[in-house]
């Protein structure tokens, strides 16, 4: 008898009808002889509707109350799924994150899981019940306030539960049937991957892939939880995310996939005096505003002893980063702050590049042949990323996918709402 | 500095706009120098929408999950009111019933409050915050499951909190501006009452008045909490429910009001053998089905040694009571079970009838003059109730209200959705 954790996202739960279909799958899994724990996100549009109501009563709602409000969404969906399960001949109990023992930091809106003590979940399983656990939420260890976990929080809840319960499998269901070599909407011959090691999945998630969220993959890797990415619309086996690149024999290491990201913008601070501390002041100012930066490029200084400092960041943070820097113009003595939000990032990921010289060369040649200009390049042991013009992202993705022969013969199966 | 508990019902919270108006009143109460605790029901249609969703996935939803589902409604409204308060310059924290220390029995859908330990509420008040507490819910003492409190649960939450916090006032807000001598929609010259003692309010609530729920008035009486019934649409002082009829000097005791109730049906079991145990079996069968009965009438047996047994019950329980009894026809040996759901109950309430002979006579004469036939009559020390044809209820109410000169000169002010 295996213990299986399943997670269903909002689009899989967007109506009473979808809820009943999900319940059928859960009951089938139970009847096959397994213990089943299910994590549900809020139904389809619920979170957006709640955010809208909040904004109507307060344009800048207090974070503690936002967490109290949004967590109602998961409460509703998990209770409804439990009811649907009951109508289909099995028994189920739903629990909030707090009741399920998900203990977190007290950072509202972006709490991290500190510990999971799922006593009531285990008790439910022992009594033959299916346990539903509200995703995306927990209780703060110090204040005992309810918290939400930030982006991908329901995936993280599922993986954390799987780790704490020593589950045999953690299945993440959405409307895509696995992790692909690239986005099938851009690359028609993108191929579904059977397996992806943790480190590669981390790089793909950090590079724009929306299939799994970074934090949940980090958690899975730390606790050794294998994740299966599957579609709630079919019985296909999906993709398994597990194992380390260290376990792959050198000769089998591959190039795995191409990710893209249109969510970043580029800031260039021009005419920065080339003395120790100038660049540091720029990065410190941005960091103090709690803004994360991604790619960095600093040119060699010109004959006047000045240089340009360029970096990328999330578009959402663009305007505030610009104003933070503008305020320091006199103090640091640079010429101007330029903002460019027509950039895109394209990344190639694969353990194989560690042992195959020439990958970088092939990568750059493919882009050059496609007429794509590289503005910034940034690499890790298993990833090459470039910043390019956003209107060239699709061409770049296809060119790289082709150059590394990642395509398959089968037409990629794309479901409605594919991508998450 | 006073500690005031305020409760707002669903219709007072039915939109973002109404929520902002309610927040204004709460902030004004705080700025006047008071400590403020607020209990909110779910927004207008939320509970019905959730019930509808539940029914779509399971026609007979498990009670534990129904409580998990419905309590999301109060979570949403209280968080939104807290946000609205914050936008208006005060600070507020919202709490679930469980977080606020509302401990209950484990009867899902109809739990009773066992204890209230509002530590986190007191802590919030001490720090200068307004505390919002979700009404209608608590946590079961033994199972630690979330429970809902049944009809009028939010009123009960407010009264229970007021008792536990030793509040100076408990204000119940709805869209009516007080307790009236009768329903203003039936009796245009119905008068708002300044004060109503607990026992009379209990009788009014039990006799069909929907202003306050029976359980909340019982709780208020037990703990000596004065309740003020006010409108969230005006600043009128409303009606105070407090004190005992024992405190009223005999000469001041009055006839207070006329209530009516259309929610009951009548069952007559005909040709019941007139021996000990027959009637008992009938009532036992109904009781075993967990059905409450109200008025009872048993005729004197006729020459064949048979009698009719008549009682009233909630219409909702009618069909199941009938089938329970039909099943016993042979065993008990009665002739038939007759079901009549065109009945109505009209009640006169007032401490004054204890010391004023002739009240019953005046009551019956008024009905006779109005052409209303009495089918069953039932009295307590301070109440006379009659069962009549439902189409005669309005006439009966007006006739009795007139006969006891309960009307006032001012036109009763009726707001949209008046009655609850």
What's the rounded Cα separation, in Å, for the pair B135 and B39?
5
What's the rounded Cα separation, in Å, for the pair B40 and B22?
10
Query: Does residue A338 register a pLDDT over 80?
Result: yes
Write the pLDDT tens digit of every residue in A140-177: 999 999 999 988 899 999 999 999 999 999 999 988 89
- Residue among B73, B82, B120 whose CB faces A65 most closely: B82
- B207: Cβ contacts below 8 Å, ≥ 6 apart: B259, B260, B261, B345, B347, B349, B383, B385
- A227: Cβ contacts below 8 Å, ≥ 6 apart: A159, A170, A171, A172, A212, A216, A217, A220, A240, A241, A242
Q: Do B54 and A83 touch (CB under 8 A)?
A: yes
Distance from the B390 Cα atom to the nearest Cα atom in chain A, whole angstroms: 38
Structure tokens at A303: 């004959």
Which residues of chain A neighbour B59 with C-beta distances below 8 Å?
A: 87
Q: Do B69 and A83 touch (CB under 8 A)?
A: yes
The average pLDDT across A321-342 equals: 93
Interface test with A, best of B18, B55, B65 (most A CBs within 10 A): B65
Distance from the B110 Cα atom to the nearest Cα atom in chain A, whole angstroms: 18
Q: What is the pLDDT of residue B1?
A: 83
Chain A residues bordering chain B (beta-carbon distance below 8 Å): 16, 19-20, 23, 50, 53-54, 56-62, 64-66, 68-69, 71-73, 75-76, 78-84, 86-87, 91-94, 99, 120, 144
Q: What is the pLDDT of residue B175?
A: 84
Q: Do A86 and B53 touch (CB under 8 A)?
A: no
Residue of chain B nearest A18, judged by CA positions: B57
What's the rounded Cα separation, in Å, for the pair B258 and B401?
6
Q: Helix %, strand %, coil % for chain B, to 5?
A: 40, 25, 35
Query: Does residue A84 register a pLDDT over 50?
Result: yes
Q: Do A79 and B68 touch (CB under 8 A)?
A: yes
Which residues of chain B neighbour A38 with C-beta distances below 8 Å?
A: none
Sheet holding B343-349, edge to edge: B257-261, B343-349, B383-389, B376-380
Residue of chain A nearest B47, judged by CA positions: A76
Lowest mean pLDDT among A59-73, A239-253, B156-170: A239-253
Q: At which residue do the structure tokens 């534990």 appear?
A: B64
Q: How do the pLDDT tens digits run along chain B, 420 residues long?
A: 899 999 999 989 999 999 999 999 999 999 999 999 999 999 988 999 999 999 999 999 999 999 999 999 999 999 999 999 999 999 999 999 999 999 999 999 999 999 999 999 999 999 999 999 999 999 999 999 999 998 889 999 999 999 999 999 999 998 889 999 999 999 999 999 999 999 999 999 999 998 999 999 999 999 999 999 999 888 899 999 999 998 888 777 789 999 999 999 999 999 999 887 888 899 999 998 889 999 998 877 777 888 899 999 999 999 999 999 999 999 999 999 999 999 999 999 999 888 887 899 999 999 999 999 999 998 899 999 999 999 999 999 999 999 999 997 655 444 333 333
Q: Do A58 and B144 touch (CB under 8 A)?
A: no
Q: What is the pLDDT of residue A410?
A: 57
Q: What is the pLDDT of residue B410?
A: 58
- Residue among A57, A58, A86 whose CB faces B62 most closely: A86
What's the rounded Cα separation, in Å, for the pair B263 and B282?
22
The average pLDDT across A20-35 equals: 96
Q: Do A82 and B71 touch (CB under 8 A)?
A: no
Per the rule left: phi > 0, alpha: psi between -120 and 50, beta: everything else, B271 is left
Write the pLDDT tens digit of every residue in A46-58: 999 999 999 999 9
HEC assignment per residue over A11-37: HHHCCHHHHHHHHHHHHHHHHCCCEEE
For residue B353, what is the DSSP state?
A: G
Q: What is the pLDDT of residue A346?
A: 97
Structure tokens at A358: 């020439």
Report which of B130, B282, B155, B287 is spatially closest to residue B210, judged by C-alpha positions: B155
- What is chain B's alpha carbon radius of gyration, rounded to the nearest angstrom? 23
Which residues of chain B neighbour A61 with C-beta distances below 8 Å?
A: 83, 86
Beta bridge partners of B5: B37, B170
Interface test with A, best of B77, B80, B85, B146 (most A CBs within 10 A): B80
What's the rounded Cα separation, in Å, for the pair B380 and B257?
15
Q: What is the pLDDT of residue A252?
A: 75
Residue of chain A nearest B62, judged by CA positions: A83
- Residue among A16, A20, A69 whose CB faces B76 most closely: A69
Which residues of chain A neighbour B65 with C-beta distances below 8 Å?
A: 79, 82-83, 86, 92-94
Q: What is the pLDDT of residue A274?
A: 82
Neighbour-count burial of A339, counting CB atoms closer than 10 A to its CB (0-12 exposed, 13-18 middle, 19+ buried): middle
Which residues of chain B neighbour A137 with C-beta distances below 8 Å?
A: none
- Residue among B50, B83, B99 whose CB faces A62 most closely: B83
Distance from the B417 Cα atom to the nearest Cα atom in chain A, whole angstroms: 23
Residue of chain A nearest B19, judged by CA positions: A57
Q: How many CB pairs under 8 A join A and B?
A: 114
Which residues of chain A neighbour B99 with C-beta distances below 8 Å?
A: 144
What's the rounded Cα separation, in Å, for the pair A398 and A392?
10
Report which of B258, B196, B192, B193 is spatially closest to residue B226, judged by C-alpha positions: B196
Q: Do B83 and A71 touch (CB under 8 A)?
A: no
Which residues of chain A neighbour B69 with C-beta distances below 8 Å?
A: 75-76, 79-80, 83
Residue of chain B nearest A132, judged by CA positions: B65
Q: Do A72 and B79 touch (CB under 8 A)?
A: yes
The average pLDDT across A368-389 equals: 94
End-to-end CA distance of chain A: 31
Interface test with B, best of A15, A44, A62 (most B CBs within 10 A): A62
ipTM: 0.82
Residue of chain B nearest A76, judged by CA positions: B69
Structure tokens at B247: 């405190």
Q: Do A80 and B57 touch (CB under 8 A)?
A: yes
Lowest mean pLDDT among A33-37, A85-89, A151-155: A151-155
pLDDT band at A290 (very low <50, low <70, confident <90, very high): confident
pLDDT, greater one: B86 or A297? B86
Q: What is the pLDDT of residue B304?
A: 80
pTM for this model (two decimals): 0.85
pLDDT band at A305 (very low <50, low <70, confident <90, very high): confident
Residue of chain B nearest A61, judged by CA positions: B83
- Helix A198-206 crosses helix A214-223 at what angle (to 10 degrees)? 160
Query: Does residue A419 register a pLDDT over 70?
Result: no
Beta-strand pair B227-231/B169-174:
parallel
Report which of B358, B347, B367, B36 is spatially closest to residue B173, judged by C-alpha positions: B36
Distance from the B132 Cα atom to the nearest Cα atom in chain A, whole angstroms: 11
């Amino acid at each position: 008898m295996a213990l299986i954790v399943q997670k269903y996202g909002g689009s899989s739960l967007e109506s009473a009808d979808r809820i009943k279909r999900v319940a059928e799958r859960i009951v089938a899994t139970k009847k096959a002889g397994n213990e089943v724990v299910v994590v549900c996100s809020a139904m389809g549009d619920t979170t957006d509707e709640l955010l809208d109501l909040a904004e109507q009563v307060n344009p800048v709602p207090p974070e503690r109350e936002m967490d109290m409000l949004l967590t109602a969404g998961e409460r509703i969906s998990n209770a409804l799924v439990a009811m649907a399960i009951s109508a289909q001949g099995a028994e189920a109990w739903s629990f909030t994150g707090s009741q399920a023992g998900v203990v977190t930091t007290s950072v509202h809106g972006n709490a991290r899981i500190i510990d999971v003590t799922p006593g009531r979940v285990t008790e439910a399983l022992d009594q033959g019940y299916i346990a539903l656990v509200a995703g995306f939420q927990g209780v703060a260890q110090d204040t005992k306030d309810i918290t939400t976990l930030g982006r991908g929080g329901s995936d993280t809840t599922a993986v954390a539960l799987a780790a704490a319960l020593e589950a045999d499998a953690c299945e993440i269901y959405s409307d895509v049937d696995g992790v692909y070599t690239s986005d099938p909407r851009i690359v028609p011959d993108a191929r579904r991957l059977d397996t992806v090691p943790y480190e590669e999945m981390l790089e793909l998630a950090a590079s724009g892939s929306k299939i799994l969220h970074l934090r949940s993959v980090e958690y899975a890797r730390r606790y050794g939880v294998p994740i299966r990415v599957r579609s709630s619309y079919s019985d296909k086996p999906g993709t398994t995310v597990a194992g380390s690149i260290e376990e792959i024999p050198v000769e089998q290491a591959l190039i795995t996939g191409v990710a893209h990201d249109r969510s970043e913008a580029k800031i260039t601070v021009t005419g920065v005096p080339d003395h120790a501390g100038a660049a540091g002041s720029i990065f410190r100012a941005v960091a103090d505003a709690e803004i994360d930066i991604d790619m960095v490029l600093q040119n060699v200084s010109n004959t006047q002893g000045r240089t340009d400092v360029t970096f990328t960041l999330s578009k959402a943070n663009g305007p505030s980063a610009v104003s933070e820097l503008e305020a320091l113009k006199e103090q640091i003595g640079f010429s101007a702050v330029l903002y460019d939000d027509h950039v895109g990032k394209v990344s190639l990921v694969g353990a194989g590049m560690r042992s195959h010289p020439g990958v970088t060369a092939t990568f750059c040649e493919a882009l050059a042949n496609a007429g794509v200009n590289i503005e910034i390049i940034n690499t890790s042991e298993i990833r090459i990323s470039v910043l390019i013009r956003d209107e060239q992202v699709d061409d770049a993705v296809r060119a790289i996918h082709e150059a590394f022969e990642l395509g398959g013969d089968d037409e990629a199966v794309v479901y409605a709402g594919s991508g998450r």
